[in-house]
Amino acid sequence: MNKQKRTFVILAIVLAACLAGYLGLLNYNKYKSDDDSESESDSVEALSLDSSDVKSLSFLIDGQEYSFSRIKSEDTSDETESTESEKTDTNSESSTDDDDQWVCDNDTSLKINTSKVTSLLGNATSITASKKFDSDADTSDFGLDEPQNVVKLSTADKTYTITIGEKNAMLGEYYIRINDDVYLSSTTILGTIPDSIDDMVATEDSESTETESE
């Protein structure tokens, strides 16, 4: 009898432990789900553009502003020498990054590496932030008056100015201003801006790589 009683007690304890573990797992999953939802809601969309809509861009290299303009490739330009309606159709079909080239407005003789521009645009046209500051917030210590760089993107109807200030060492994020709004963002734009204009020039290796990708 005592043996049966001990067995019953042990089974009851095991069952209680399993039930407690199950309830704990349910609570953990609920907490994690709520936490993930809160994290997603904390993310702020600072800028979202279609890179193919950008007609020109500029940024600083050693304090000097370099600007670049999107142009039609030579092949595409030849194809558009027909009727006005054919021009419209061809332009809409060739509006992708693959069909376009970029020219440096500072020196039009330079042959620009398109992939470099594409990489920079990929970072600059899609920016999320962990925080957006109120319009009356004190931003004097954010380094926006003496920025690390200023990137400008121009579409057919608007120009977006991205000012990159100091990096918050604790959070590992940058203070940035997009037109009039200030954010805290982990943007990687700075990593795609070259140290020299020579880094933007196409080489034989880069041209062969672009040809293979096409």
d(CA 150, CA 163): 5
pLDDT at 166 over 70: yes
pLDDT at position 39, please? 43
**156 assigned to some structural domain:** yes
**What pLDDT, on the 0 to 100 scale, is given for residue 162?**
98
Residue 11 lies in a domain: no
Q: Does residue 109 lie within any of the structural domains? A: yes
* Number of domains making up the chain: 1
Q: Residue 155's domain is classified under what CATH number?
A: 2.60.40.4250
* Mean pLDDT computed over 8-26: 71
- Mean pLDDT for the stretch of residues 95-121: 87
* Residue range of the domain that includes 53: 44-73+100-213
Distance, in Å, from the CA atom of 197 to the CA atom of 68, rounded to the nearest integer, reads 11
What is the predicted pLDDT for the residue at 31? Answer: 43
Q: Give the closest residue to 192 by CA, choosing from 164, 161, 167.
A: 164
- Of residues 107, 89, 90, the one with CA closest to residue 99: 90
In a domain, 206, yes or no: yes
Compute the distance between CA of residue 62 and CA of residue 149 in angstroms, rounded to an integer: 9
pTM over the 0.75 mark: no
Position 150 scores a pLDDT of 98
Residue 117 included in any domain: yes
- Between CA 137 and CA 180 the distance in angstroms is 12
- 1 in any annotated domain: no
What distance in Å separates the CA atoms of residue 56 and residue 151, rounded to the nearest whole number? 11
pLDDT at 3: 64
**Distance, CA of 192 to CA of 210 (rounded, Å):** 18
Is 141 domain-assigned?
yes
Average pLDDT over residues 132-140: 95
Residue 33, in any domain of the structure? no
